[in-house]
Structure formats: C-alpha cells, structure tokens
Structure 1
Amino acid sequence: MSVSRKAINFDLYTNELKKHFQDTREAYAQVKEFMLKNGFEHRQYSGYASKNSLSERAISKLSTKLVTNFPWLASCVKRFDVTDIGEQYDLTDQLQILSKSIHKDIPKNSPDKEAKLAELRTEINKATQSKTHNLNTKNKNIER
C-alpha cells in the first residue's frame, strides 16, 4: 500500500448488529461520525475517502482507534476494504450536459436520435480526454 489518499469501504452483519443496537443505523452513524472526525469524507453508504494521503501505518492506527472506540465492530464486520485512490475525475458536468441534451434537445422519437447521441458521446469523450490530459500534465509538472 502506497502513501496516497485511501478509500475505505465496509459492510457489517445486520444480525450481529442487532445484538448491540436496537436500530442498526446507529452503528453506521457512529462510524460515520468517527470517520469524519478523522479526516475522511463520506462518499456513499459505508464508503469513505481520505482527504489527505495516508501511509499504511496511519491506516493501522486508524484501525486500532476504530476497534478501541467501537468494541462491537470486530464481531459485526463482514468486510473492511482499504484501497489506494489513484487518479480521480469528476464527470458530473459531462453527465448533466449529456442528460440535458438527451432529454431536452433531442426529441424522443427523433429519427436521427442515435446519430445525435453518438455525436454527444464523442464531444464528451473529447472533453474528458482533454481534462485527463490537463490533469496528467499538471501532475507531471508537480513531480518535476
């Protein structure tokens, strides 16, 4: 594991959680509060991304803090995965543009709908590749 931003995703056994909580959502709420206080952002469900780069040792310390704060966690955890986050691209704008074009600009029964969609995909791919190229160039300049 390299020193990089980390993604942490986990799954808990519901039946085991019921032994510790009346409402199993409480367990997830406790872990969420812990993760937010320890430099992570909540991405989705039980998925978190570190705000900063972390070493393997830092992840080990975080794991120790987790089981110290939540004694129930060890018996309830089904999976607890840590992944190095590589390059990350936000395609939100492209998805919104595509959606708007599909649902507003291209009539539902348009005879050339497929051709227009292919044209939109090409435009989005070019924009995405341009962003990727700019990010890669920026990263190479930083490394120098």
Structure 2
Amino acid sequence: MKNSVMGVVSAVALLAVGVAQAGPLVDVTFKNLGREQAVLKIVTANESSTYQVANPKPREKVEANTSTLFRVQRIISPDVNAAMVRYTMGSKTCAFGTTFQMRMMPGGIKQPQWTKTATPSGGATCAATITSTAADYSWKVEFSMK
C-alpha cells in the first residue's frame, strides 16, 4: 500500500512539474484576405509539431475573407514557445512563424523576446504582426495572406 501511495504522489509531482514547465501561450489568428480558399500544408517538423499541440487545431481549409484561431503552448521550458504554420492558395504559399524566448543578458538579467516571420512564395503577399504581449509573456499574433 505504501509503495502505491508513493507511486501516485510521484506521478502527481511529475505532472505538476510538467505543467510548471510550459512556455507562454500564443494565440494565433490566420486571416485569408485572398479571393480563394487557403489550404493548410504541413512541410516541416516544426509545422507538424505546431499542428499536433495546437488547441483547437488550425483549420485545414480557410475560405476567402475568413479567419481561423488556434492556441499553442509547448511543454518544453517556461522560457520558450513557438508556432509555425503554412497555407497555400493555388501556387501561392505563405510560411509563418512566431517564437518566444527568454534571453539571458549580461549580469544574469532575463529579457523576453518575441519574433514573427512571414515568408511568401509564388507571388503571395504575407504579413505577420504581434498584436499584444502580456505580463505572463503570453502573446497574440496575426498572420495574413492574399
């Protein structure tokens, strides 16, 4: 009985540590500003892992002039998080990314850093904007494509 209780206590402690290690939450909005449907296309391992941990999942098809919202929170470290997604419209493609990293500065000072990228190909117009950051380091980013 004692071993069973210790096992349960150990499992709960490990789960609590895992929750404590989660990075800051990112809310991602993808806006299709084009005239045709945008289709999710997973190419890289980072895009695949984003899809796997997103809640809800990014929509696989986003109609013209609509958007989709998803959230990503990775349980790697409290000091990092990232979301990567790629959408296509015919021959146009936009690869988007956003990251958070707590950087260690000289003197042991920690400094938060958020990034965003939008990489077009095939004549696409892509934009990425960080729309807000919070005291808990969570952030919101908007990706748009046309």
Length-normalised TM-score, structure 2:
0.22
Name the structure with the higher helix share.
Answer: 1
Name the structure with the higher strand share.
Answer: 2
